[in-house]
A and B are shown apart, each in its own frame.
Chain A
């Protein structure tokens, strides 16, 4: 977890965790406890988007949309610091435990366990709901963002018997048949986190505006500014510690977003609520300035 290839991935992951945390903390600061409901709704929309996108891409690849496919061709690769055990993995059942999670660590150390809990309680439930049309059952009985627990325990069931004939055909091979064993490939670590970062920000902005109007937009943009201020020294330190210069090349490897929204095609899908411009001026431009890259 500390080799030359893994460190940049860890840095990208931390940037995403900080993005979520700073935007959410700002929403709570500006909009009060009611922001928690908005945050949960945004996490659900984000996760449903991911589930829907995964389902569509897996179908397009000719794969069966079951649990083996979902987790085999997931949209984000795991952070190298994650330590987990997969206890069971079939097309109908996936059971696993996570013992170390760098995202939970970052949130808890920063004093934002509660914001982490909002994420963890909603994420897998919503993702599976979208991927399976509400037919899978997600259980998360222990989670590292809860102060009672020392691990996460997930149990997901997607039972053939609960599906219509059409969905059964879409998701499973017939019993006894070798069937389609296509497992789509995951995107690269950076592409996965880039999409996750854009969507996370977009849905927080969308729900904040819907629920709190202008105040919601202000809350999110204030969070972006705080994030820029917090990220600059962190990225500089990461560069110094690895004998690198914190330049554009370094950021390409260690920061999950493109520094110019114009150069990122995914923004075309997430252009509502003035999202690209607000990100550019409140995060990217400020970050570049702080790093001397303007």
Chain B
């Protein structure tokens, strides 16, 4: 039995997962392998952005850039209550872990997006973990729940000090920094809504950016079509979830259970991620459909 807050977390996560699935599906449907090229590129850019954001945060806190901190310090998302894993090793050089249940893989499977999930697994993790440690992380994800035949994900992510240039060793490992005093690193609360909101905007933005660069306006149109389908499917899912819990779909429910803010103008991130008419396309092709499906009244 999950609490309301846990269910919100699960819905936020599922909507984020669906965003990738439906946008990518639309691009692949229209452009095939050429579309896949730019989807992979967009996924890598998203991974880099997410990694650099974590790295900046860690450096500002005086923490070392290593595997223990990548996977243990200041997560940008709370844990999904459905997620199950077995940690085998977490130290500054290594993070070895098996993911036993991945809610993202479950959602992709449910909507027939397993091959799309594979693209995400191949490109995102590699790009993100590698970029975090200046390109020196060795990322091994030899088993994935998005790979037919695999029954868990096997992460083996390593950063060896002997593979780093001299100037980066003290940045990454305290034993190479003789004057290092470990700072107090007070825990930071992790806000699921804010986390999924940020990641959803970035993920959408980088897909749009890469696809627009590679395929022009026709590519952007494919993304718009993906947004419309996403809006319909996400609305259906939210309605079903609310009905299951005897809750009414209102603005408050949507605010709690969907990553994006109900009012697009209330979102300051669009200023930074504004190119390629990202906000306008999102408003036209996602918000309008989503709100109509949920019978929500916009402030505008």
A residues 124-153 touching B (CB-CB < 8 Å): 125, 137-142, 148, 153
Instruction: Please tell me if B65 contacts chain A, counting CB pairs below 8 Å.
Output: no
Measured CB to CB, the nearest residue on chain B to A138 is B140
Q: Which candidate, A34-42, A74-82, A190-198, A223-231, is the interface stretch facing chain B?
A: A34-42
Instruction: Please tell me if A4 contacts chain B, counting CB pairs below 8 Å.
Output: no
Q: Considering the chains assembled together, what is the distance between the CA atoms of A219 and B89 in angstroms?
A: 33
How many chain A residues touch B (CB < 8 A): the figure is: 25
Question: Are A34 and B142 in touch, CB under 8 angstroms?
Answer: no
Chain B positions 154 through 172: 1 when the CB is less than 8 Å from some CB of chain A, otherwise 0 = 1110101011000000000
Measured CB to CB, the nearest residue on chain B to A44 is B163
Instruction: Please tell me if B52 contacts chain A, counting CB pairs below 8 Å.
Output: no
Instruction: Please tell me if A83 contacts chain B, counting CB pairs below 8 Å.
Output: no
Instruction: Please tell me if A88 contacts chain B, counting CB pairs below 8 Å.
Output: yes
Contact of B122 among A33, A95, A154, A159 (CB under 8 A): A159
Question: Are A160 and B140 in touch, CB under 8 angstroms?
Answer: no
Q: Which candidate, B32-40, B190-198, B224-232, B285-293, is the interface stretch facing chain A?
A: B32-40
- A40-B163, A160-B33 known; A141 and B40 CB under 8 Å? no
Question: Are A141 and B160 in touch, CB under 8 angstroms?
Answer: no
Instruction: Please tell me if A71 contacts chain B, counting CB pairs below 8 Å.
Output: no
Question: Are A161 and B37 in touch, CB under 8 angstroms?
Answer: yes
Q: Considering the chains assembled together, what is the distance between the CA atoms of A170 and B141 in angstroms?
A: 27
Q: Considering the chains assembled together, what is the distance between the CA atoms of A191 and B274 in angstroms?
A: 59
- A40-B162, A153-B154 known; A148 and B89 CB under 8 Å? yes
Instruction: Please tell me if B276 contacts chain A, counting CB pairs below 8 Å.
Output: no
Instruction: Please tell me if A61 contacts chain B, counting CB pairs below 8 Å.
Output: no
Instruction: Please tell me if A162 contacts chain B, counting CB pairs below 8 Å.
Output: yes
Question: Are A139 and B141 in touch, CB under 8 angstroms?
Answer: yes
Instruction: Please tell me if B138 contacts chain A, counting CB pairs below 8 Å.
Output: yes
Chain B positions 33 through 58: 1 when the CB is less than 8 Å from some CB of chain A, otherwise 0 = 11011011000000000000000000
CB distance from B87 to the nearest CB of A (A): 12
A36, A141, A159: most-surrounded residue (chain B CB, <10 A): A141
Which residues of A lie under 8 Å from residue B96 when comparing CB positions? 141, 148
Instruction: Please tell me if B139 contacts chain A, counting CB pairs below 8 Å.
Output: yes
Which residues of A lie under 8 Å from residue B295 when comparing CB positions? none
- A148-B89, A155-B142, A155-B143 known; A141 and B37 CB under 8 Å? no
B36, B37, B126: most-surrounded residue (chain A CB, <10 A): B37
Instruction: Please tell me if B88 contacts chain A, counting CB pairs below 8 Å.
Output: yes
Instruction: Please tell me if B147 contacts chain A, counting CB pairs below 8 Å.
Output: yes
Question: Are A141 and B88 in touch, CB under 8 angstroms?
Answer: no
Question: Are A37 and B162 in touch, CB under 8 angstroms?
Answer: yes
CB distance from A136 to the nearest CB of B (A): 11
B33, B142, B147, B162: most-surrounded residue (chain A CB, <10 A): B142
Which residues of A lie under 8 Å from residue B183 when comparing CB positions? none
Chain B positions 126 through 158: 1 when the CB is less than 8 Å from some CB of chain A, otherwise 0 = 100000000000111111000101000011101
Q: Considering the chains assembled together, what is the distance between the CA atoms of A153 and B142 in angstroms?
A: 6
Contact of A36 among B36, B143, B156, B162 (CB under 8 A): B162
Measured CB to CB, the nearest residue on chain B to A97 is B142
- A153-B142, A159-B40, A162-B40 known; A142 and B156 CB under 8 Å? yes
Inter-chain pairs besides A95-B149, A162-B37, 17 sampled, C-beta below 8 Å: A33-B162, A36-B160, A121-B138, A121-B158, A125-B138, A137-B126, A139-B139, A139-B156, A141-B141, A141-B143, A141-B154, A142-B156, A153-B142, A153-B154, A154-B142, A159-B122, A161-B37
| Interface residues of B, Cβ cutoff 8 Å to A | 33-34, 36-37, 39-40, 88-89, 96, 122, 126, 138-143, 147, 149, 154-156, 158, 160, 162-163
Question: Which 3 pairs between the two chains have the least Cβ-Cβ distance?
Answer: A37-B162, A141-B142, A141-B154
